[in-house]
Amino acid sequence: MTLASPSAIARRLSTRIVRRASAVFSTVSVANDPACNNARAHQHQHPQPQPQRRRAHLATHAIARLARPAHAAALLFACTALVCAAPAQARKKAEHPSVNVTTVLPPVVMAGLQRAHVPLSSISVVVEKVGDRTPILALNAGKPMMPASTMKLVTTYAGLSLLGPDYRWRTTAYSEGELDANGILHGNLYIQGTGDPKLVPEELIDLVQKIHKAGIVGIDGAIVLDKRFFDPSTRDLPAFDDDASAPYNVGPDPLLYAFKSLSFTLTPSADGSVSIDVLPALAQLQIDNQLRATGGPCRGDLGALNPSVTPAPNGSVTASFSGNYPVRCGDRTINIATLDHSAFFAGGFLALWKQTGGTFNGVTREGPVPVSARLVATHMGPPLADVVHDINKFSNNTMARNLFLTIGAVASKPPATPEKSINTIDAFLQRSALPTEYLSLENGSGLSRDEHITALSLADLLQAANSSPVAQVFVDSLPIVGVDGTMRHRLTNEPVNGNAHIKTGTLRDVRAIAGYVASADGNSYVVVSLINDPRAEAARAAHDSLLEWVYQGAQAAVAEPVVERVSEPRSKPRKNPKRSGNH
């Protein structure tokens, strides 16, 4: 096993570990999901032609700064009983969605839905000019839908607005006992976490080095983890689906480290050996490598090469690999969530501690920092603006869930609970005159069957975010179509490439898009569309066609109306109901 040095970790992780999360933390419940595959490849971004990059830059500024006076849009369809055509305040007071929905979906979008066999009742759409909340196009706009990862827009906008883009999480070390002349602490070292979503090796090494600079080189006592910032009920939750080792299923934690996931990189050699590199390093991890590099073509299912990870009674963990690995397959990276949060953090901390010359002969456990403990060092995490960038660009569920809980803990004092966060976000949206009647939050990431929102509410939020003090940070965090994040491989050969910032959402039966399009005619638009249907995966082309249609000039291209009668929801959804049990 090859363990990277702290300096090598810092260099590699800055371009790898969070981006690796985009492949494994997206709101996907099937391994072969297209959105997941798109994100997996984002590490190798294709250079865009300079004009496209310039348009992407201009689109950001046009969207974030545009503030057109409200004016009556020329609607090309009848607005009988259409809630979405009312002013924003009237929409907020609406008691239920419209039953009779008039749609002017463009033919290219209709064709995509028909090819996928997705009925109009399974899709909601809102298109508005930025600065004018009168929809140009609306279908099922007031119908509560599962948004998948587009729910992260609610969490990140609320987080930026309530905490501020410069908010930083603290991870702090305290000591209790005597420090001798040789730098040995005869007592306990305490590590207190506050939910830093991006506590990866190049961040944690800063805390380790500061502890050394405080004179501590050895610990003759315990390492005690203080995790009181989050309520115990928020930790070690059941997985969203039956794939507990999938990194997208990792739950929140006050001492979340490297997303509680290991990345194994397999590299076959012509001499018959296969080297295994692992990130991050864990002190208790051992590798049993029985892989053999072989000749012949690269074909078949390489999933059989995934390791079995087995904890031992003595605290060690063994990752066992076996089988034949064709040299022609080249390097392959396997991502696996393993262990509990405390064991994972302790192993990561001790690996860095020992790599930097530290010694430790005690045990690790959880517990509170005593009042008598002395402050040793504090690590300040990256600013919230950077965290939101990673959450939205790469659809990182675990980071979003930590941010979600942090919002409630800061507003209502720790320990964090989902109820505190739900109430805080509800209150913020209501103060912002944004409707919350059909908003149901659970964990703030969209990795849930119980989270719902309407397309109209998402459009209202996007309009509000665009005119807010955090507009630039928020818009910049969204994936640019054809350029980066989860939109990197979509519409790469279409004119909209580089001219839209779009957050995606994916579950097994959900496809969603929400964001901004800077059109060819100089206008900027808010675009939201949610598909909830067993055949949603096949309807991605309809969403791509919608984005291209908006880019080409939505208002001028509106088609003749087609009337579709849609059933009203059977019962009014509860507002942010309290839930227990599985996601």
Q: Domain boundaries in the chain?
A: 1-32+168-382, 34-40+57-165+385-565
Strands 274-279, 2-3: pairing kind: parallel
CA distance 526 to 517: 7
**Strand, coil or helix: what is 344?**
helix
Residue 576 has pLDDT above 90, yes or no: no
Indicate the pairing of strand 317-326 with strand 500-507.
Answer: unpaired
pLDDT band at residue 243, thresholds of 50, 70 and 90?
confident
The model's pLDDT over 483-530, given as tens digits with 9 standing for 90+, comes to 999 999 999 999 999 999 999 999 999 999 999 999 999 999 999 999
Q: How far apart are CA 425 and CA 412, in angstroms?
A: 12
CATH number listed for the domain at residues 34-40+57-165+385-565: 3.40.710.10
- Residue in this structure with the two tokens 């002013």, named with its chain if needed: 87
Across 6-15, 340-349, 463-472, 529-538, least confident range? 6-15
Distance in angstroms (rounded) separating the CA atoms of residues 289 and 239: 29
Return the pLDDT at 538. 98
Task: Return the pLDDT at 11.
Answer: 38
| Least trusted range by pLDDT, from 24-33, 75-84, 303-312, 414-423 | 75-84
CB 337, CB 244: distance < 8 Å: yes
Using CA atoms, how far apart are residues 386 and 24, in angstroms rounded to an integer? Answer: 19
List the structure tokens of 86: 């009312």
| Cα distance between residue 299 and residue 329, in whole Å | 8
Q: Evaluate whether 579 touches 417 at the Cβ level (below 8 Å).
A: no
Instruction: Indicate if the pLDDT at residue 352 is higher than 60.
Output: yes
Determine how many CB atoms are found less than 10 A away from the CB of residue 573: 15
Torsion-angle region of 303 (φ positive above 0: left; ψ -120 to 50: alpha; else: beta)? alpha
The pair phi, psi for residue 83, each rounded to 5°, is -60, -35
Per-residue pLDDT for 22 more than 90?
no
pLDDT of residue 304: 72
- The beta strand positions in 136-180, using DSSP E, are 137-139, 170-179
Checking 38-45 for CB contacts under 8 A at 24+ apart, the result is 38/486, 38/487, 38/488, 38/489, 38/490, 39/394, 39/395, 39/485, 39/486, 39/488, 41/488, 41/489, 42/394, 42/484, 42/485, 42/486, 42/488, 43/15, 43/16, 43/19, 45/483, 45/484, 45/488
Three-class HEC string of 290-302: EEEEECCCCCCCH
For the record, the structure tokens of 435 come out as 């409707």
Q: In angstroms, rounded to a whole number, what is the distance separating the alpha carbons of residues 76 and 103?
A: 10
| Angle of CA points 571, 577, 578, to nearest 5° | 145
Opening angle at CA 234, ends 232 and 237, nearest 5: 110
pLDDT digits (tens, 9 = 90+) for 185-236: 999 999 999 999 999 999 999 999 999 999 999 999 999 999 999 999 998 7
Measured in whole angstroms, how far is the alpha carbon of residue 257 from the centre of its chain?
16
Percentage of residues in the chain with pLDDT exceeding 70? 77
Supply the CATH classification number for the domain 1-32+168-382: 3.50.80.20
Q: Kindly tell me if the per-residue pLDDT of 356 is higher than 80.
A: yes
Tokens of 241: 């689906």
Tokens of 562: 């087609």
Q: pLDDT value at position 31? A: 32
- Average pLDDT score over the chain: 83
Two structure tokens written together for 517? 């399009």
Pair 247, 445: CB distance under 8 Å = no
pLDDT confidence bin for 542, thresholds 50/70/90: very high
List the beta bridge partners of residue 219. Answer: 185, 360
The confidence score (pLDDT) of residue 567 equals 37
Residue that has been written with the tokens 């059109």 in this structure: 519
Cβ pair 194, 160 in contact under 8 A: no
Mean pLDDT of 19-34: 41
> Which amino acid is located at 95 in the chain?
E
CA 319 to chain CA centroid, Å, is 27
| Closest C-alpha to 211, from 357, 367, 8, 13 | 357
CA distance 442 to 420: 11
* Whether the predicted pLDDT of 289 surpasses 70: yes
pLDDT value of position 71 = 31
Judge contact between 523 and 499, C-beta under 8 A: no
Q: So what's the pLDDT on residue 30?
A: 35
pLDDT band at residue 557 under the 50/70/90 scheme:
low
Cα 383 to the chain's mean position, in Å?
Answer: 16
Digit-coded pLDDT (tens) for 164-186: 999 999 999 999 999 999 999 99
Strand 2-3, strand 500-507: pairing: unpaired
Residue with tokens 């402050």: 375
One-letter amino acid at 312 equals A
According to the model, what pLDDT value does residue 555 have?
65
Q: Give residue 103's pLDDT.
A: 64
User: Residue 275: beta bridge partners?
Assistant: 267
Structure tokens at 555: 């208002």
Tokens of 324: 């034949």
- Please state the rounded mean pLDDT for residues 465-480: 98
C-alpha span between 257 and 193 (Å, rounded): 10
**What pLDDT is recorded for position 83?**
31
d(CA 106, CA 84): 18
AA identity, residue 376: V
DSSP category for residue 478: S
256 close to 401: Cβ distance less than 8 angstroms: no
Q: What is the pLDDT of residues 90-139, one digit of tens each?
A: 333 333 344 333 467 999 999 999 999 999 999 999 999 999 999 999 99
Distance CA 499, CA 509 (A): 28
